[in-house]
Amino acid sequence: MIQPTKKALIVKLPHSWSRATPMFDDDNLVSCAGLVPMMALAEQAGLSELIGQRVTLASTRVASAAVNPAGKVTSIIAGMAAGADSIDDLDVIRSGGMPRLFDQVYAPATLGQFLREFTHGHTSQLAAVLRAHLVALARRTDLLPGIESQVFIDIDSLLRPVYGHAKQGASFGHTKVAGRQVLRKGLSPLATTISTADGAPVLAGIRLRAGKAGSGRGADSMVTEAVATARAAGASGDLLVRGDSAYGTSAVVGACLRARVRFSLVLTKNPAVNRAIAGIDEHEWRAVHYPGAVVDPDTGELISDAEVAETTFTAFASTKHPVTARLVVRRVRDRTKLDELFPVWRHHPFLTNSDESTAAADITHRRHAIIETVFADLIDGPLAHMPSGRFSANSAWAICAAITHNLLRAAGTLTSPKHAVARGATLRRQIVTVPARIARPQRRRMLHLPQHWPWAKHWLAFWRNVFVPATGPPVTV
């Protein structure tokens, strides 16, 4: 007997909709109701007060551009939290009933004019706001769980491509595309992140540079600021600074030693490093079991052939400040040369003064790649573009993007354990860009949100944890 085939379920638009008339005329509707608790959390961490105290625009080209920097910066951050990735997109906070939610909402033209008034000194003031606000968020929420025991500070840079001829500072720099080094015209932000074993990384600093700037330029001062920020946020245990070969320099290692923190930095291979690697006895190499490594079901051995060993090494011997520490080396078989008479290995050395075992130190160092998740969030959000032709305006935009990233991370911790480690795009979609209708029955403000919203319980938990400060970890009802 032939079974009848089941008809596929489809979403079909009724024909009557072709005669409907759309009208954009309701000033009681808002598209981003999640900005209410989001910006309330920002103010509970003192964002406007910090901007008012630290950002002062004097002797501007346009007198009105310097007025109320707190209101303008918070407008930019609100727009970024709602998904804006250009100055024109900031108009999202002025649609429908959005102006009724906040006291001060500025037009994109005004915000663009404000950003163009920034100088290097003003961006330094805004960077100080970023660090102070991160400290306040860490105290207000469980943003960095376990910060009192172990903290990781990661540093890295990326190249954001630009295509216009009027971008100040844009120049050709090296970047990787599909695993290959290529030259691209762009601007190069240098960023430092703070993370813990159980907490997602947050931005301690971001500094915009020309596209051709060396990756390690200014890294020592960025590390110093990040360490001070981590300690102000409550880090009292071990701090480990991690970076790739661009940051395995005397300046960065010296900054770590002066700050009395541990470091784990890749060294560029040179004759001295190669001699140290060659001096490691063959019997000292040990297989390393990475988390999630695959085991051969027949032999019980790791399919990965990575091995680690270590030796004592004096780096920067030709400088005034040589450093003697552990040189941990990971080696992997070169899979392009499998027919050789003897194994050919590729070596990856890094210098560290941590007290972990060799294998554990290697595993910890490789987790430096967590900073790439922050870059992915920024590129998928406010740093999709460098919106202005002025370098300082783009620098201020990048710092606002960092403040927004930290604010979203803090909001996630007040929403649910799952949202505490969610991507920025997920947080925007589920708890920020929620449509709502404003009503005032009996002069009491109400927000009518969509029925059957999939994340309604999480959203309400976020609301309650912001407006009714919790005494314990956030609870999803």
Which pair of structure tokens corresponds to residue 55? 């950002």
Residue 302 has pLDDT above 60, yes or no: no
* β partners of residue 286: 308
CA distance 63 to 31: 33
DSSP labels, 204-264 = EEEEEEETTS-TTTTHHHHHHHHHHHHHHTT--SEEEEEE-GGG-SHHHHHHHHHHT-EEE
Q: What is the pLDDT of residues 175-220, one digit of tens each?
A: 777 677 888 899 999 999 999 999 999 999 999 999 888 889 999 9
SS3 26: coil
- pLDDT bracket for residue 99 (50, 70, 90): confident
CA distance 115 to 76: 10
Mean pLDDT of 332-346: 71
Which pair of structure tokens corresponds to residue 162? 């630009």
Mean pLDDT of 72-89: 95
Mean pLDDT of 380-389: 93
CA distance 321 to 307: 31
CA distance 284 to 328: 12
Please say whether the beta carbons of 81 and 72 come within 8 A. no
Please say whether the beta carbons of 66 and 472 come within 8 A. no
Q: Which helix (H) or strand (E) holds 39?
A: helix 35-44
Residue with tokens 């429908």: 96
- pLDDT bracket for residue 474 (50, 70, 90): very low
CA distance 32 to 268: 48
Residue 110 has pLDDT above 60, yes or no: yes
Residue 443 has pLDDT above 50, yes or no: yes
Q: What is the pLDDT of residue 105?
A: 87
Residue 477 has pLDDT above 80, yes or no: no
DSSP labels, 348-393 = EEEEE---S-HHHHHHHHHGGGGHHHHHHHHHTTGGG----SSHHH
